[in-house]
Amino acid sequence: MIEFSDLISFSGLMGTLGTATIVILAGLGCLMTEHAGMMNIGLDGMMTASAFIAGIVSWLTGSWVYALLAGVGSGLLLGAFYSLMVVRLRSDEFVIGVTLNMFLYALSTFFYRNLPAAANGLHLEVGSKMMVPAIRLGGESGPAVSVSLLVPAALVLVALCQVWLYRTRQGFWLRASGEKPESLQSVGRSPVRMKTLASLLCGAFCGLSGVYLLNNTHGFTEGMSASRGYVAVACVIFGRSNPVLVTLAALFFGLVDTVGTRLQVAGVVNSTLTKTFPYVGTILMMIVLAIRNEIKKKARRSDLPAK
Amino acid sequence: MWLLVLVCVAASVLAGMLYALIPALMKVRLDISEVVTTILLNTVATTFCAYMANGPLQAPGRGSQTAPILKDLQFERFFRPSNLSTAVFIVAGMTLLVWYLMSRHVTGYEMRMTGQNSRFARFSGLKDKKLAVGGMLVSGAICGAVGMLEIFGWKYSYAETLSTDFYWDGMLVAMIMGYKPLGIVLMSFFFGILKAGAIKIQSSANIPSELIQVIQSIIIFFMAAEQGLIQRFRVWRARRHPQREEAIRA
């Protein structure tokens, strides 16, 4: 039987945070484009492609710095492609997102299968030296947990995004480019430029998320993103594109995911079935929050005539 | 036997409708984006069915597959090597029905109006929420029927994955052809040719079928950007030959 105290323990919380970080980073990217008035469904493909390129570079150079740079760089390139298609050529963002997923998944799988390293045992492994360094936490009172540096970095990035979006001029322009491009134009700023910036940021965050994904699974495998990009989109939508709320949503996803994994390890539930947990959990959470909002709205409405 | 097939059709259609009802109600009642809920529900359903095919419904000695359906229930095949079966008539019938509903019937007009401008539709007295739920139900019913044809038409048993790329392909085809039923049929044939070719190429020339997916996505990229590219080209030409452009216009 599963020990629930174990889940609340330090290592349990760190596991939750670790799983959530993938979604947090991708979510940060998605909310940038969401604020700029575009819905990017292509996060999943962007993550997979960046993870693949980061994996190849770390394998070739043996250095995590290059891998990180390559991952973020490829993310930036993909963001540039997305902005070219959606912002400049005005194609449907949804079509581009879905096709981007298909395209990048197929492309990375194709190259991965033809990789000389992958010929023996289809697994592009990344050694511990090639990974982003981890810090060890705890140890004195409980078991030590090593956490990749990218996890605290992601939390710092959340805070930075929150401040940048709501407290600076650039952030204000970015939000305006999505909500009312005309007003942005009337103060002499180009909405196209802000939208391009948002796509580039989205690509960079997805690249970072891909690098972390690679670190988390110690190597590249086909379909490694496991539609977490879509979960990130879900988190962004019902976190109303607010970085902190999106992070909370992602943490919830991570918690359900960890509970699922623990149940699976404990052998209570079938391993395939536990994979549905995070998705069902996310949907249920959306329903509960929406119903609560509805009730609040109704309460406010019934208050009005009394005044 | 025909009765049994009809029961199967009814069950699969009902299953599709019920599963489509969840995002539809969430959209109409709670205003939750249907884009996200449907994508998440996709993962839930495929994973759950994989679990069923691997666990409770797994046929002994068949890997992660269910037991094959009865021979009498399978749709007749025309030419042996091809997997084309009589199911194609049902698909043709459904296409005609959808075409009639969407382009020749009042309901289709009302649906399109609601989709384009739901506020305008509401003010002109249409029940936009009912139409939205109805649209979702019909789409769920069609998808349920397609899933059933997939099994009864040529696969004959449920393997771990059934439709992983079919739903994305279908959605992309519909979006690119601007939701016109007959255009969708033509484009689907094109995609079908690519897919069938991919399988043949993979087996004969050992070229991975992912390459076809790459080509397919590049085609879609260009089709999606078509309008934008044409416009860019016009602007560029006008800048290069201002006089000629004026001469053409005059």
Question: What integer pLDDT is reported at residue B200 of this predicted model?
Answer: 80
| Ramachandran angles phi, psi of A302, nearest 5° | -75, -20
CB contact under 8 A, A103 and B175: no
Buried b (16+ CB within 10 A) or exposed e, A240-264: ebbbebbbebbbbbbbbbbbbbbbb
The nearest CA of chain B is from the CA of A166 a distance in Å of 24
Q: Is any Cβ of chain B less than 8 angstroms from the Cβ of A222?
A: no
CB contact under 8 A, B224 and A91: yes
Per-residue pLDDT tens for A174-201? 898 888 888 888 888 888 999 999 999 9
Contacts of B230 in chain A (CB under 8 A): none
Per-residue pLDDT tens for A255-305? 888 887 777 777 666 677 777 888 888 888 888 888 888 888 888 877 665
Residues 48-67 of A with CB under 8 A from B: none
Contacts of A23 in chain B (CB under 8 A): none
Per-residue pLDDT tens for A88-134? 888 888 889 989 988 998 888 888 877 765 544 444 555 555 566 66
Question: What integer pLDDT is reported at residue A1 of this predicted model?
Answer: 44
Q: How far apart are CA B42 and CA B171, in angstroms?
A: 13
Question: What integer pLDDT is reported at residue A76 of this predicted model?
Answer: 94
Q: Report mean pLDDT in 10-residue bins for chain B, 250 residues.
A: 84 93 88 83 85 76 73 74 78 89 87 84 84 90 88 77 73 85 88 82 78 86 86 84 66
Q: Is any Cβ of chain A less than 8 angstroms from the Cβ of B219?
A: no
- In which element (H, E) is residue B86 found? none
CB contact under 8 A, A272 and B54: yes
Question: What integer pLDDT is reported at residue A307 of this predicted model?
Answer: 43
Q: How far apart are CA B207 and CA A106, in angstroms?
A: 13
Identify whether the C-beta of residue A230 lies closer than 8 Å to the C-beta of residue A70. no
CB contact under 8 A, B228 and A233: no
Residue A82: closest C-alpha in chain B: B221
Q: Is any Cβ of chain B less than 8 angstroms from the Cβ of A85?
A: yes
Record the pTM: 0.83
Q: Is any Cβ of chain A less than 8 angstroms from the Cβ of B43?
A: yes
Q: How far apart are CA A80 and CA A199, in angstroms?
A: 7
CB contact under 8 A, B44 and A283: yes
The nearest CA of chain A is from the CA of B36 a distance in Å of 5
Question: What integer pLDDT is reported at residue B223 of this predicted model?
Answer: 86
CB contact under 8 A, A92 and B33: no
Provide the sign of the torsion angle of the four alpha carbons A224, A229, A230, A232, taken in this order.
positive
Question: What integer pLDDT is reported at residue B171 of this predicted model?
Answer: 86
Q: Is any Cβ of chain B less than 8 angstroms from the Cβ of A233?
A: yes
Residue A47 has pLDDT above 70, yes or no: yes
Stretch among A61-70, A204-213, B156-165, B237-246 having the lowest mean pLDDT: B156-165
Q: How far apart are CA A112 and CA A221, in angstroms?
A: 9
Q: Is any Cβ of chain A less than 8 angstroms from the Cβ of B47?
A: yes
Q: How far apart are CA A94 and CA B177, in angstroms?
A: 14
Question: What integer pLDDT is reported at residue A244 of this predicted model?
Answer: 92
Tell me the pairing of strands A219-220 and A124-125: antiparallel
Which residue in this structure is represented by tokens 């043949």?
A: B200
Q: A63: which 2 tokens?
A: 């250095």
Residue A145 has pLDDT above 70, yes or no: no
Q: ipTM, 2 decimals?
A: 0.79
Q: How far apart are CA B93 and CA B87, in angstroms?
A: 10
**Among A50, A83, A88, residue whose Cα is nearest residue A69:** A50
Q: How far apart are CA A204 and CA A83, in angstroms?
A: 13
Question: What integer pLDDT is reported at residue B19 of this predicted model?
Answer: 93
CB contact under 8 A, A95 and B217: no
Q: Is any Cβ of chain A less than 8 angstroms from the Cβ of B214?
A: yes
Q: Which among A89, A102, A238 is the nearest to B213, CB-wise?
A: A102
Question: What integer pLDDT is reported at residue A143 of this predicted model?
Answer: 56
Q: Is any Cβ of chain A less than 8 angstroms from the Cβ of B161?
A: no
Give the mean pLDDT of chain A. 81
Question: What integer pLDDT is reported at residue A119 of this predicted model?
Answer: 44
Q: Which among A102, A113, A294 is the nearest to B217, CB-wise?
A: A102
